[in-house]
Structure 1
Amino acid sequence: MQSGFGFCGHDDIQRWQRALEPIRASAGPLPRRSPIGALVKSMISGRTRDAVSLAAYDRLVAAFATPARVLAAGPGEVLRCIGAVTHAEDKARYVTRALGRIVAERRGFDLGFLGDLPLDDALAWLERLPGVGRKVAAATLNASTLDRPVLIVDSHVLRVLQRTGFVRRGAEGRAASEAVTRAMPEWQGRDFLDFHIGTKKLGQTLCRFDAADCAHCPLRTDCRARSD
C-alpha cells in the first residue's frame, strides 16, 4: 500500500514506529490538556522552540486561568505573556479572535463535541478559526483528551517523512498528515501521538535541517536522503 504521495506505506510506518520507540521513550510523557487548552498551546507554538512555547503557555494560564479571562484580557495582555514566541503579536491576536469565535458559536469553550464529529468535519470546524491550520487542528484533536486518530505534522515531522520518501519533496504538512492518517486506519490516537513525538524528536536531534546525523539514525536503512 503506497501513501499516494511517496513510495512507502503502511508497513514502513509500522516499522518506523518500532524503530523510534527508544527516541519516543526518551521524550517522556506528554500531558493531555483539554481541547481548548491544546488549541491555545498549539496556536502559540508554531516556529518556536518547545521550551519557549511551553513557558509562554504556562504564563498565560497562570495569569488568566480560564479561556474567558484570556478573551476578556485582549491581545495586548496576551502578548505580555507570550512575547517570547515567534510572531507573538500575530499569535496574540489570533488566540483572542479564535476564542471569541468559539464562544460566539458555542456559548462556551467546551470543544468536547469535536469528539463526536467525523474526523474530517472536526478538522474543518477548527480550521475555520483565525490562525488555525492543519497542524493546530490535528494537535487539538490528537494531543488533547479527545485522543483522536490523526497525525500532527510540524516542520520536523515533515522533514523526516520527506527524507524517508513517505511524501515527496515539496509536500505540505496537510498532505503528509492526511497520507499517514490514511495509511494507518487501525491506529488509535495514542499511536499517532507516539509517532508524532518520535519523528519530531528525530527531526530535532539526528535528522536536522542543517546537519543530519545519518550514521546514528534509526531510520537510516529506509532513508532515501541519507549520506553514507
Structure 2
Amino acid sequence: MKKADVVDFYARLAEADPHPETELEFVNPYTLVVAVALSAQATDIGVNKATRALFRTADTPQAMLALGIDALKEHIKTIGLYNTKAKNVIALSQMLVDEHDGVVPNDRAALERLPGVGRKTANVVLNVAFGAETFAVDTHIFRVGNRTGLARGTTPLAVELKLDAATPQPFRLHAHHWLILHGRYVCKARTPECWRCLVADLCAFKPKTPPPKLTAKIGAAKKMAGAPD
C-alpha cells in the first residue's frame, strides 16, 4: 500500500471511531493482564462474562492468590483451556508479588516473562495500560494486514514489524485497535463485508464481496444457468 493510501486508510478509520478501546473489561493494569491472558482462543464477550464477578473479588495479584486456584477455576470454567489458564494466572500473580511488589511492570521483557503472557499480550498491556505505540497482532490484524496489503507477512511478528514501519503519526497509538475492530466487524474471515467497508477502494483484496442481495441474485442466476455456485 502506498504511503499516501496508508494515511488515508487510517484517517478514515479514525474519523469513524476517534477513540477506539479494547472490548475486554478491566479495572487496572493487573486485571488487564489477566483478561488478555484469558482471551487466548476465546472471545472477548466470553471472557468479560467470566471476569466481571472475578474482578469484583480479585483485582490485585495478592487478592488472586488469596482466592486460590480452585475458586479461580470456578469463575473461568466457561472459558476454553481454563485449567491451564488458571495455573498461569496464579503463577503470574505470584511472580508479580515476588518480583515486582504486586505492580505490573511497564517493560516488555518483564511482561513476557510472566506465565501465559506472550508478545501479543505484552503489546496489549503496553498500549492500553501505559500508552505505548505497540501493535498487538492477533488473528484479525494478521488477516487485515495481509488482505488489504497494509502489512503483509507470514508470521504475526513479521506483520507487527511491517505495521510498525508503515504506520505514521498521529495514528500509531490507536492503530491496532482500529485494525482489530475492522477485522472483527467488517473485514471478517470467511466473508469480508466489502460493500460497507470504509477503505475498500484502498484495499488490495479482490474480488470485492458484493452486498448480500446481489450475492443472492448471482447465486440464483448461476442455478438457473446450471452453473455451480
TM-score with structure 1 length normalisation? 0.79
Asked if 1:160 corresponds to 2:144, the answer is yes
2:63 to 51, 59, 69: 69
Q: Return the index of the structure with the highest Cα Rg.
A: 2
In 1, the alpha carbon distance for the partners of 2:10 and 2:148 equals 13
The sequence identity of aligned pairs, in percent, is: 25
Counterpart position of 2:190? 210
RMSD over aligned Cα atoms: 2.6
Task: Report which stretch shifted further, 23-32 or 74-83.
Answer: 23-32
Partner Cα separation in structure 2 for residue 56 and residue 11 of structure 1: 43
**Unpaired segments of 5 or more residues in structure 1?**
1-7, 115-121
| CA–CA separation in structure 1 for the residues paired with 2:22 and 2:154 | 31
State whether residues 30 and 103 of structure 2, in contact with CA within 8 Å, keep that contact through their aligned partners in structure 1.
yes
Assess if the C-alpha contact under 8 Å between 1:24 and 1:194 holds in 2.
Answer: no
Residue equivalent to 1:5: none
Gaps of 5+ in 2: 209-229
Residue correspondences, number: 207
Cα offset, 1:11, TM superposition: 4.2
Describe the shift of the 1:169–1:227 C-alpha distance in structure 2 as closer, same or farther (beyond 3 A): farther
- Please state if 1:21 is matched with 2:14: yes
Matched residue SS, 1:52: helix
SS state at 1:37 partner: helix
Question: Is the CA contact (8 Å cut-off) linking 1:23 and 1:198 kept in structure 2?
Answer: no
Distance 1:17 1:33, change over 3 A: farther
Structure 2 length-normalised TM:
0.78
**Aligned twin of 1:123:** 108
1:47 counterpart = 2:41: yes
1:34 and 2:18 matched: no
Q: For residues 18-75 of structure 1, give each alpha carbon's deviation from its aligned partner in whole angstroms, at most 9, with x where no partner exists.
A: 1213553596786784322221111111222222112222221123243212123232
Report the counterpart of residue 99 of structure 2 in structure 1.
105
Asked if the contact 2:137–2:159 (Cα under 8 Å) also holds between the matched residues in 1, the reply is yes
Cα deviation for residue 96 of structure 1 reads: 0.9
Q: Distance in 1 between matches of 2:21 and 2:36?
A: 19
Quote the Cα distance in structure 2 between the aligned partners of 1:169 and 1:177.
Answer: 9
